[in-house]
Amino acid sequence: MSGFEGVIVSDTWLQSQFTQVELRTLKSRYLSIRNQSGRVIVGDLPPVFAKLKAFTEMFTEDEVKGILLESNKDSEEEIDFESYLRTYLNLQALATAKSGGSKSSFLKATTTTVHHAINESEKSSYVAHINSYLAEDSFLKKFLPLDPSTNSLFDLAKGGVLLCKLINVAVPGTIDERAINTKTSLNPWERNENHTLCLNSAKAIGCTVVNIGTQDLVEARPHLVLGLISQIIKIQLLADLNLKKTPQLVELVDDSKDVEELLGLPPEKVLLKWMNFHLKKAGYEKQVTNFSSDVKDGEAYAYLLNALAPEHSGPAALDKKDPTERANLVLEQAEKLDCKRYLTPKDIVEGSPNLNLAFVAQIFHHRNGLTTDSKKMSFAEMMTDDAETSREERCFRLWINSLGTATYVNNLFEDVRNGWVLLEVLDKISSGAVNWKKATKPPIKMPFRKVENCNQVIEIGKELNFSLVNVAGNDIVQGNKKLILAYLWQLMRFSMLQLLKNLRLHSQGKAGKEITDANILNWANKKVKKAGRTSQMDSFKDRNLSSGVFFLELLSAVEPRVVNWSLATKGETEEDKKLNATYIISVARKLGCSIFLLPEDIIEVNQKMILTLTASIMYWSLQQPEGEPESSLNSPDGSPTASADGETGLASAVSKLSMDGAASDNVTSPQIENENPSMVENEQSSLENEKNDTSDGK
């Protein structure tokens, strides 16, 4: 299956300079410039390299041409893929030197000749965490405990089971463990399925995996494996640092305005705010702004533990003059609170940010020291959303973060109010649509600048034919949740339809009619029928979909071996529906679909999420080498056909092209046809009603 194949380079050193995602992206660009005879020449490269985001701000096309001709005198000389990679590295080194040593922002993981150093303390801590939380796992217990002084962590990670299980520890229920391949000896197909499931599930809990591919995990590249494990553990440790999980956090603020600010803070900032809240009460005069230099001397920890657990603490730690001795005493006091000892005195003194953050999070979990003032807690509960709004907020937040935008979204409704994040997403989805000269980057002090950003967001939405009747940028600035969700749904839908259309552009080099909701519906029904199944869906809100049977049959139709029918139910009871829904999501991710819905979205037949699921399965299927007949879409002159570029998942197609900063070079903001009027009309009606309901209060 092409989606699981790595790009292999004969020169092992050259291979080591890139992640698999980068290799696949560069290979795709290389193949796209081949001439009719299948050759690539030096003269073809300048316009390609000049457009890459890594170089576009450093070199003009003429400058790239001059650099290439210095080493390749003949512009007609043929260049193979490995020479193409070496040329890329040479340009990258020149770009780094020209910028004064700073590396290009898109290179999340370094790809220069510098070897990736492994932090042995962090490795030991992560091994201790795994040994603790997965010791009783039915499959992994025969491999545990791991020895941190060896490479046993990386050896075990190669099968994919460990990382999948760790994700479920961080966010229980993310992966249906029935979908994990847990045989003692896995074949390459099964192993890659596990890694694909892992990466798509990691995205679904908020990890950034833009620069990691399945082949990187197969090879267990240490810095990438540790980086992913670090993100997963961080999500687990910070899971309760929000008002929904811990309403007592409202004690940290004084009024409703401060509560809004608290809602918009990332979990690590909330943790710092909590720490400083107790330090101030304990008489500590300094402000802790980070988990590194500000905690090196151990004083802040001594004050914090004295405030939270005076029965286990005392002045002894503060009396110590040597920072290492003080750090050791602090850890001994923390252990009396049952805090797991994941860091050493040396890690505190050296200011290891990841391990110190984990240590403070451990203290928070065991003794947060906050009151349970019923009046304040009820106020905090009023700030939370209903279940459906919360699920949609989660879906769109994770989808945005999966695109690889520069800004990470922690709280959707708060983080989009200045317009900047939405402009970044629009730039990813429709290259060139944003006029950055008219945009203001955060932090934004002047309110009218936020309105200007959001006005441009609305203007671009109208250009993309979104339903935005009577909607203005100020509605986003004011945080109107229903309008924000409605806008983001149309943006996500537009992105999906464009990705499906672009498959035709990349595979055949010609454009056609837009892909519509009706096309997706027809494709799914014909795919299931062709496989000899009887299920059909009348629409994306067909109540029969709640059983899950249709999607199990659709997944089986696109890849017969991916569904284990002995695990499926008829979906007649609520419990059986839940079992099917959780299995469907994990199987789709295991196949290669990047999706962010929850089982409840299938059970309750949320038509928006049902469309995203169907479209993602369709997108994956159309990429496979055998392709799909255009007639299967019931749109002979405009349907997408197979693509052999090997990427998987909706978000992957965006990240695949992120090196030149756009979702597609070949399409400029086409309009969505309203061939499925029900969803578009419903969206427009909803927006108008919401505008009417709120207009009196503005």
| Pair of tokens at residue 178 | 């029935």
Q: Which residues of 511-545 are buried (b: 16+ CB within 10 A; e: fewer)?
A: ebbbbbbbbbbbbbbbbbeeeebebebebbbeeeb
d(CA 448, CA 178): 52
pLDDT for residue 5 is more than 90:
no
pLDDT for residue 678 is more than 60:
no
pLDDT at residue 97 in the model:
61
Q: 29, 2, 23, 21: which is closest to 11 by C-alpha?
A: 23
Q: 244 — phi, psi (to 5°)?
A: -70, -45
Number of helices and strands (H, E) in the chain? 33, 0
Contact predicate 528/549, CB 8 Å? no
> Regarding predicted confidence, which is higher, 423 or 678?
423
Token look-up 């890690």 returns 347
DSSP conformation letters of 212-249 = --HHHHHTT-HHHHHHHHHHHHHHHHTTT-STTT-GGG
Write the secondary structure of 541-581 as one string of H (helix), E (strand) and C (coil): CCHHHHHCHHHHHHHHHHCHHHCCHHHCCCCCCHHHHHHHH
pLDDT at residue 109 in the model:
34
d(CA 665, CA 275): 47
pLDDT at residue 128 in the model:
94
- Residue 146: CB atoms within 10 Å: 21
pLDDT for residue 319 is more than 80:
no
d(CA 347, CA 357): 11
Q: Which tens digit of pLDDT belongs to each residue from 428-438?
A: 888 889 999 99
Contacts of 529 (CB under 8 A, 6+ apart): 536
Q: Residue 63 belongs to what H/E stretch?
A: helix 61-71
Task: Give percent of the chain above pLDDT 90.
Answer: 50
| Averaged pLDDT, 187-208 | 94
pTM: 0.77
Contact predicate 64/55, CB 8 Å? yes
Q: Which tens digit of pLDDT belongs to each residue from 609-643?
A: 999 999 999 999 988 876 444 444 443 333 333 33
| Averaged pLDDT, 142-165 | 95
SS3 41: strand
d(CA 490, CA 682): 12
d(CA 593, CA 585): 9
Q: 609, 617, 172: which is closest to 391 by C-alpha?
A: 609
